[in-house]
Amino acid sequence: MKATELPVAQETLSKMLDQMIPINADDADIYIEHSVSESLALEEGRVKHVSASTHQGIGARVIKGEISGHAYTDRLEDPALMDCARAARAIAESEHKNRSIAIHSDHPRHQLYQPANPAIAASMPERKTLLEKLDSLARSIDPRVKQVFANVSTSFSSIHLVRMDGTLLNDNRPLVRLNVSVVVEQNGKRETGSAGGGGRFDLSRLLKGDEAEHLTREAVRLALLNLDAVAAPAGPMPVVLGPGWPGILLHEAIGHGLEGDFNRKGSSAFSGKTGQRIASPGVTVVDDGSIAERRGSINMDDEGTPTRCTTLIEDGILTSYIQDRQNARLMGVEPTGNGRRESYAHPVQPRMTNTFMLAGKDDPKEILSTLKHGLYAVNFGGGQVDITSGKFVFTTSEAYLVENGEIKAPVKGATLIGNGPDVLTRVSMIGNDLELDPGVGTCGKGGQSVPVGVGQPTLKIDELIVGGTES
C-alpha cells in the first residue's frame, strides 16, 4: 500500500463513526496520518548521522460543548479502532446513539504544493554530496572557519480526515529544511553563526538552486560578524526591527495572544477587545495559511477547514481571532482554518500558520535615518512570552548600534524586553519592504510543535527596554 492511500477501509471508518457519534454531539472527526521523515547531519567534514522514521496512527475526537474527547491508536486492526472510537466518546462524557453514516470523498479547496514526497527528488548519496560541498564552501570562504555543521531533513505526511457527516478529505504535505552552522576562531576567541531555510517543496530546489550556497555564506557572515561585536547597550531606547525573521517577535508577543482559546477563556491580554484600537494606525497583521509552498501553509487545517488569509488587526483595530472549530462555535464566529495538531496522537488547538504584518509606506533607509541613538535588530534567537500579560524577552542574534542615522558596530548579547500590546502602540514607522522568513519557524504550544511562518517589513518602535552587556 502506498503512503498516500487510505490505510483503513471506508466501511471500518463508517463503523468508527457509528461508535463515536453521541447524542447531541457538536462535532467529531477521525484523523488518519502516515508520515515518513529522513535526516542527514554533517560535522567534522563528514556525514555522521543519518536517520529515517515512519509513524502512522488514527486519532478519534468527539466534541460536546467545551468538552473534547480525544483518543488515538497506532494499531489499525478493527478491534483497536473500535476501542479508540468508544474511548473518545467516553472521554467526552456522551451517551451513544445508533446511526449509520456513509463515507463520501471530497477535495481541499486549493492545492498549495506538489503532493509528492520531497525525499524522492534526491537520493541519499546526492544529499550527502550536498552537505559535503557546503562544508568545503564554508571553509573556503574564510580560513577562520574551524567547524561546520549542516543538516538536511525531509518529511512527507499523508493526512486523511473523516468529518462527522462522513466527508473524507486528504492532504499530502511535503516539507524540507536545510540548516548550516559554523564556528570561527580568531586569537583564541570563538563565535558561531547559523542560517537555514526550507518550505513545502521537493528537495531538488536545494540541490539545483543557489539557496544552499546562500545559506552557507550567511552562516559564515554572521559568525565573522560576531567576532567584531561590542557589548550591547542597556536601557530604554528606540529600536528598528529589520524585515523578515524579526516577525518572530510579532508571532510570540502578539500572535499567541490572538488565538481563540486564550480569548474565549479570557486569559489573553487581547480578550474582549474586538473592534477596539490596540495598535498604531497603519499596523495591519494577518494570518495566511494559503500561501503556496510556505512552511506554515497547508491546504486544509487538521479539522478539514480550508486555510485562508485572516485579517487579525486592520489599521490598528483588532478585527478577528485565530480560530479552530470548537472555539469558533463557542464564541459564535466562523472557524478561520487554524485548527492544528502535531500528529494523530495530539488534540486540536487554534494555532498560527504564516503570521505577518503588512507593508507600510516608509522607506527603510529613511526609518534608520531617524535614529539618533538606538538599536537596529536584524535577526533573533530565542524568546519567551507570557500570554496573560503579554510581557516578552527576546535575544537578538544580529544587531547594530545606530548613531545619527548611521549603522555602527555590531553588538552582542542584546535582549529586547517589552509588552506585546504596548509595543503595538509604539510603532511609529512601517517600511515598504515586507519579507517573509526563509522557512525555519517551529511553534510550540501546549506541548505540541507545528511548522509556521513569520514576516514583517522594517519597523520603528519608539521605545523598548534593551537588556545589554555593557558594564
Tens of pLDDT along 48-70?
999 999 999 999 999 999 999 99
- The mean per-residue pLDDT over the stretch 345-373 comes to 97
The reported pLDDT for the residue numbered 71 is 95
- As a whole number of angstroms, the distance between CA 434 and CA 428 comes to 16
263 and 239, same domain (yes or no): yes
| Enclosing H/E stretch for 219 | helix 211-227
Q: Is 457 inside a domain boundary? A: yes
Q: Which of 210, 227, 244 is the last residue of a domain?
A: 227
pLDDT, tens digit, for every residue of 181-228?
999 999 999 999 999 999 999 888 888 889 999 999 999 999 999 999
> What pTM did the predictor assign?
0.94
pLDDT of residue 469 exceeding 90, the answer is no
250 and 377, same domain (yes or no): yes
Band (97; pLDDT cuts 50, 70, 90): low
194 and 90, same domain (yes or no): yes
**What's the order of all strands across the beta sheet hosting 435-436?**
317-318, 309-314, 285-288, 354-357, 453-456, 435-436
Neighbours of 266 (CB within 10 A): 9
- Residue ranges making up the domain that contains 377: 235-467
Number of domains in the chain: 2
pLDDT of residue 1 exceeding 60, the answer is no
Q: What are the two backbone dihedrals, phi and then psi, of residue 50, each rounded to the nearest 5 degrees?
A: -130, 130
Q: Would you say 405 and 443 are in contact if contact means Cβ atoms under 8 Å apart? A: no
Query: What Cα–Cα distance (Å) separates residue 134 from each residue in 82, 182, 191, 223?
Result: 50, 11, 19, 16
Q: Is 326 inside a domain boundary? A: yes
420 and 447, same domain (yes or no): yes
- The mean per-residue pLDDT over the stretch 269-277 comes to 95
- The mean per-residue pLDDT over the stretch 19-42 comes to 94
pLDDT of residue 237 exceeding 70, the answer is yes
- The mean per-residue pLDDT over the stretch 221-238 comes to 94
CATH number of the domain to which 60 belongs: 3.30.2290.10
158 and 241, same domain (yes or no): no
Q: Which residue has the cell 510581557?
A: 391
- The mean per-residue pLDDT over the stretch 438-443 comes to 94
The reported pLDDT for the residue numbered 105 is 80
The reported pLDDT for the residue numbered 139 is 98
- The mean per-residue pLDDT over the stretch 249-264 comes to 92
- As a whole number of angstroms, the distance between CA 440 and CA 454 comes to 9
Q: Is 2 inside a domain boundary? A: no
Q: What are the two backbone dihedrals, phi and then psi, of residue 256, each rounded to the nearest 5 degrees?
A: -60, -35
182 and 261, same domain (yes or no): no
- On average, the pLDDT of the chain sits at 93
Quick one: cell of 279? 495598535
252 and 221, same domain (yes or no): no
Q: Is 4 inside a domain boundary? A: no
199 and 242, same domain (yes or no): no
pLDDT of residue 471 exceeding 50, the answer is no
Q: What are the two backbone dihedrals, phi and then psi, of residue 128, each rounded to the nearest 5 degrees?
A: -60, -45
pLDDT of residue 3 exceeding 70, the answer is no
Q: Is 397 inside a domain boundary? A: yes
- The mean per-residue pLDDT over the stretch 12-21 comes to 93
pLDDT of residue 387 exceeding 80, the answer is no
Q: Is 371 inside a domain boundary? A: yes
- As a whole number of angstroms, the distance between CA 362 and CA 359 comes to 9
Query: What Cα–Cα distance (Å) separates residue 137 from each residue in 127, 144, 149, 181, 215?
Result: 15, 13, 12, 12, 11
- As a whole number of angstroms, the distance between CA 442 and CA 438 comes to 12
The percent of the chain in helix, strand and coil, each rounded to the nearest 5, is: 20, 40, 35
Residues 6+ apart with CB under 8 A from 131: 40, 41, 42, 47, 150, 151, 152
- The mean per-residue pLDDT over the stretch 26-52 comes to 96
How does 338-375 read in b/e, with b if 16+ C-beta sit within 10 Å? bbbbbbbbbbbbbbbbbbbbbbbebebeebbebbeebb
Higher pLDDT, 423 or 23: 423
The reported pLDDT for the residue numbered 431 is 98
Three-class HEC string of 355-386: EEECCCCECHHHHHHCCCEEEEEEEEEEEEEC
The reported pLDDT for the residue numbered 104 is 79
Closest C-alpha among 285, 433, 407, 282 to residue 353: 285
pLDDT of residue 74 exceeding 80, the answer is yes
220 and 243, same domain (yes or no): no
Band (386; pLDDT cuts 50, 70, 90): confident
18 and 70, same domain (yes or no): yes
Higher pLDDT, 392 or 1: 392
176 and 145, same domain (yes or no): yes
- The mean per-residue pLDDT over the stretch 450-469 comes to 94
Q: Phi-psi region for residue 24, left (φ > 0), alpha (ψ -120 to 50) or beta? A: left
Lowest mean pLDDT among 103-117, 271-285, 323-337, 391-405: 103-117
pLDDT, tens digit, for every residue of 334-343?
999 999 999 9
Q: Is 115 inside a domain boundary? A: yes
Q: Which of 167, 193, 227 is the last residue of a domain?
A: 227
pLDDT of residue 98 exceeding 60, the answer is no
